[in-house]
Amino acid sequence: MVSDEVVRDILRQNEAMSGIVDSLGEDEDLFEKGLDSFGSVQLMLALEERFEVEFPDTLLNRRSFSTIRIIRETVSKLSMGAAA
Amino acid sequence: MIDLTRRAKRVAEVAALHADAVDREGRFPAEAVAALKAERLLGLQVPSQYGGEGAGLAQIAEVCCTLGQACSASAMVFAMHHIKLASLVTHGLTSDWHCGLMAKVANEQLLIASSTTEAGIGGDLRNSLCAVEAEGDLFNLGKDASVISYGAQADVVLVTARRNPEAPTSDQVLVALMRDQMSLNRTSTWDTLGMRGTCSEGFRLEAKGVPTVQIMPKPFAEIAAQSMLASSHLLWSAVWFGIASYAVDRARSFVQGEARRRPGTVPPSAMRLAEAASALQSMKATVLSGLRKYEGAQHEPDELSSIGFAVSLNNVKTTASSMAVDIVQRSLGIVGISGYRNDTPFSLGRPLRDVMSAPLMIANDRILSNTANLLLVQKGGGQLLSA
């Protein structure tokens, strides 16, 4: 299972997110909090690297990376698929 | 849709008549815009329950192309108006005030302009310095709008701003301001190589005591991603296609004239025409595939916000804009000195100057660097008939 803390650690590397990561609710929209296109791609790369997964094109949309909870669920599903 | 082609052609006739004067004097294409209103083409996209015709983007693109063949500036004004209207239609339906605005646009044929560019930010539309300052149900907004195309002639301006004075520069909203709710003081003029009639001047915009219901309910980040970027790239490309196809038509007519004068031979310029016609066909395929992709994704927010979609639409813009310049230049090469002169039926100076704006308005380098970033995670593997 992917922990909330690990996702926050990765978000902390993002310039727009670094100052507000700890105050972010699980369901708050990261894009509304300042995550931009460049930052979201960097976030995807960091998640792929950290969890040794590859996001398929069908998941490369705004929604899949919009909140901490959704990111956790998306990555968990992918890593379970990889383990199976 | 009552005979859209014929209505567009009637406007194009008016636009063509005044295109040289608009260009020479660098003035707003008032006659063409009056004709657009008379043919009720400014409300085309508005849903029928609000008095419009519920037209899709492909139909708007066809009108952009028809106008582009006659007067680039008129076509661009029409395109920019409908890009803003696309945002209203896509994201405003949940707000009574914005539905009322759509009805007014359709009934009174209001012209909508856009204010995204700002001093200190430049053309990066996803950042703003100015902010909505709300007090109760009203707000004030002041913006150093370094470009508002046809700002002086618009009835409505859609303005980006930070959500509040404390918000980060990327936390933006889109606000609709009516002409009588704001003051616009010109801060710069528009004296350019081409596209002289868009009158993309700079203004100091001030609005006071505006009802907060005029703020679009969706964050601008979402509006930009889901309606504005796609509609801009596609409608602009349709305008550029119109300009390029006009140039190829001039070249074709020139070559045919040569052929008639020398029966029994194929003029050497016909070979160059064949190349230009082939390039024009590729450009058309690029624009059309973008339009089809948009229509397929239109009601699927996940697809519209996907990396694959953004990459394809970015590619439509960079490809169509550079091809358009290339095609008009090829056409000029075919027509030769008659095209270089400003006083022949084959003159191509104005279209060439106009189309040279294409790779620059939203610079292709800016778009390519955005695509470059997206390609770091896109996986690819598309098929011929899908993705």
Report the 10 Å Cβ neighbour count for B26: 16
Chain B nearest-CA distance from A73, in A, is 17
Exposed e or buried b per residue across B302-315, where buried means at least 16 C-beta atoms within 10 angstroms of its C-beta: ebbbbbbbbbbbbb
The pLDDT assigned to B111 comes to: 98
**Percent of chain B scoring above 90 in pLDDT:** 89
Do residues B201 and B96 share a domain? Answer: no
Distance of residue A62 Cα from the nearest chain B Cα, in angstroms: 5
> What is the CATH code for A4-83?
1.10.1200.10
Same-domain check for residues B146 and B95: no
Q: What CATH number corresponds to the domain at position B181?
A: 2.40.110.10
Q: What CATH number is attached to the domain comprising B102?
A: 1.10.540.10
Question: Which residue range(s) make up the domain with B13?
Answer: 4-111
C-alpha–C-alpha distance, residues B377 and B382, integer Å: 15
| Residue B14 belongs to some domain of the structure | yes
Spatial separation of the C-alpha atoms in residues B54 and B52, rounded to whole Å: 6
First to last CA, chain B: 31
Cβ-nearest to B378 among A36, A37, A60? A60
Phi, psi of B232 (to 5 degrees): -65, -50
Higher-pLDDT residue of A79, B344: B344
pLDDT confidence band for A1 (50 / 70 / 90)? low
Instruction: Residue A58: list chain B partners with CB under 8 A.
Output: 306
Indicate if B262 and B311 belong to the same structural domain. yes
CB contact under 8 A, B305 and A63: yes
Q: What is the pLDDT of residues A9-53, one digit of tens each?
A: 999 998 878 888 899 999 998 987 878 888 899 999 999 999 999
pLDDT digits (tens, 9 = 90+) for B325-360: 999 999 999 999 999 999 999 999 999 999 999 999
**pLDDT tens-digit readout, B240-283:** 999 999 999 999 999 999 999 999 999 999 999 999 999 999 99
Sign of the dihedral defined by the CA atoms of residues B189, B190, B191, B196, in that order? negative
Per CB-CB distance under 8 Å, the chain A contacts of B380 are 57
According to the model, what pLDDT value does residue A19 have? 85
The pLDDT assigned to A14 comes to 85
Say if the Cβ atoms of A60 and B306 lie within 8 Å.
Answer: yes
Indicate whether B204 and B305 sit together in one domain: no
Burial (CB count <10 Å: 0-12, 13-18, 19+), residue B286: buried
Tokens representing B344? 């022949």
Q: What is the pLDDT of residue B387?
A: 58
Using CA atoms, how far apart are residues B179 and B151, in angstroms rounded to an integer?
10
| Residue A72, pLDDT above cutoff 70 | yes
Q: Is the pLDDT of residue B289 over 80?
A: yes
Biggest CA-to-CA distance, chain A: 37
- A interface test, pick of B124, B307, B370, B376 with most A CB neighbours within 10 Å: B307
Interacting residues of B211 by C-beta distance below 8 A, sequence separation 6+: B97, B137, B138
Backbone dihedral region of B75: left (phi > 0), alpha (psi from -120 to 50 degrees) or beta?
alpha
Q: Which of B111, B129, B154 is the last residue of a domain?
A: B111
Mean pLDDT on B205-231: 93
d(CA B131, CA B128): 8
- For the cut 80, the answer to whether the pLDDT of residue B2 exceeds it is no
Q: Which residue has the higher pLDDT, B225 or B174?
A: B174
Same domain, B228 and B306: yes
B126, B221, B377 member nearest A60 (Cβ): B377
- How high is the ipTM of this complex? 0.89
The predicted pLDDT at position B215 comes to 98
* Boundaries of every domain in chain A: 4-83
Mean of the per-residue pLDDT values of chain A: 88
B103 part of a folded domain: yes
CB contact under 8 A, B387 and A57: yes
| B105 and B194 co-located in one domain | no
Whether residue B118 sits in one domain with residue B104: no
Please say if the pLDDT value at position B298 is more than 90. Answer: no
Average pLDDT estimate for B141-155: 97
pLDDT of B88 higher than 90: yes
Do residues B235 and B352 both lie within one domain? yes
pLDDT at A82: 63
Is residue B385 domain-resident? no
Q: Is residue B159 helix, strand or coil?
A: strand
Does some domain include residue B383?
Answer: no
Q: How far, in Å, CA of B327 to CA of B273, rounded?
A: 10
pLDDT digits (tens, 9 = 90+) for B235-250: 999 999 999 999 999 9
CA distance B375 to chain A (A): 9
pLDDT bracket for residue B126 (50, 70, 90) = confident
* pLDDT score at B369: 93
Whether B48 and B99 map to the same domain: the answer is yes
What total number of domains does chain B contain? 3
Residue ending a domain, among B196, B214, B232, is B214
B167 pLDDT above the threshold of 80? yes
Q: pTM score, two decimals?
A: 0.95
Average pLDDT in the B379-386 region? Answer: 80
Average pLDDT over residues B159-175: 93
The least confident of A61-65, B52-56, B64-68, B272-276 is: A61-65
Q: In what helix (H) or strand (E) does residue B274 lie, and over which residues does it extend? A: helix B269-297
Looking at the fold, whether B159 and B138 belong to one and the same domain comes out as yes
Q: What is the mean pLDDT of residues B95-104?
A: 98
Chain A CB contacts of B377 under 8 Å are 41, 44-45, 48, 55, 60
B225 and A62: CB-CB below 8 Å?
yes
Q: Clarify whether residues B247 and B348 are in a common domain.
A: yes
B294 and B368 in a single domain? The answer is yes
